Amino acid sequence: MQSVAEFDNVGLRYGTGAETLTDVSFKLFPGSFYFLTGASGAGKTSLLKLLYLAHRPSRGAIRMFGEDLANMPRSRLPGFRRRIGVVFQDFRLVSHLSAFDNIALPLRIAGISERDLEGPVNEMLEWIGLTERASARPATLSGGEQQRVAIARAVIGRPEMLVADEPTGNVDPDMALRLLKLFAALNRLGTTVVVATHDIHLLQEIEGAQMMRLDKGRLSDPTGALRHPPRPLVLRN
């Protein structure tokens, strides 16, 4: 089975500092659900940045969707990025755009017409419970509402891979579960999902999800899942 992402002895260093990630090797398979755990500063966000192509590795090789990134020209990166949805830890909503426009952003960048994007964006707003706040700017939204908008923005383009950095950190348990259900639903449609989280309880919510654990920049595979083909996913509750 061709992997969605394949890391081979990847190292990442910012400037001349110590390596943030060391000898990281793994494969992510299509349609799989992964949790990435680890203590603060273990390198989760750095690993996700490599996954959503915000950085190139200092060493090692990365293959995304079957293509080697090492020699890939910059001009080809946007095409790959459109296949990846990202939920940033700090949301990174565009402050002067409304909730509607923030969610519509990936579709507009991809050149979807206004007529065609209105329905999906409104549907997404309804799903995250923010229909009434469609025209609100991020500054007027609560932390949880901003996070929901960020998640809606990441999934609206039906990406092949969804990368989420602490997506449930600012929402109540009910909303966290709803968001996980959305991720699981996307996953069932074929999207590979990688969720970085501190919340160990989330791991129990999705049976079949695989776990990657980072410890001081090194990846461990406590469940052995990364060495085996993915199992069918079952969402508990």
Specify whether the CB–CB gap between 53 and 63 falls below 8 A.
no
Residue-by-residue DSSP string for 83-145: TEEEE-TT----TTS-HHHHHHHHHHHTT--HHHHHHHHHHHHHHTT-GGGTT--GGGS-HHH
Nearer to other proteins, 106 or 230 (CB): 106
Q: Looking up tokens 């002895």, which residue turns up?
A: 9
Q: Looking up tokens 């206004």, which residue turns up?
A: 114
Among 4, 12, 42, 53, binds other proteins (CB under 8 A): 53
Among the residue ranges 21-29, 79-87, 138-146, 187-195, the one whose residues contact other proteins (CB under 8 A): 79-87
Q: Is 81 in the site for other proteins (CB under 8 A)?
A: yes
CB of 75 vs other proteins, minimal distance in Å: 8
Among the residue ranges 75-83, 139-147, 190-198, 213-221, the one whose residues contact other proteins (CB under 8 A): 75-83
Specify whether the CB–CB gap between 128 and 148 falls below 8 A.
yes
Which amino acid is located at 81 in the chain? R
Among 1, 9, 68, 78, binds other proteins (CB under 8 A): 78
Q: Which of residues 103-132 bind other proteins (CB under 8 A)?
A: 104-106, 108-110, 114
Q: Is 70 in the site for other proteins (CB under 8 A)?
A: no
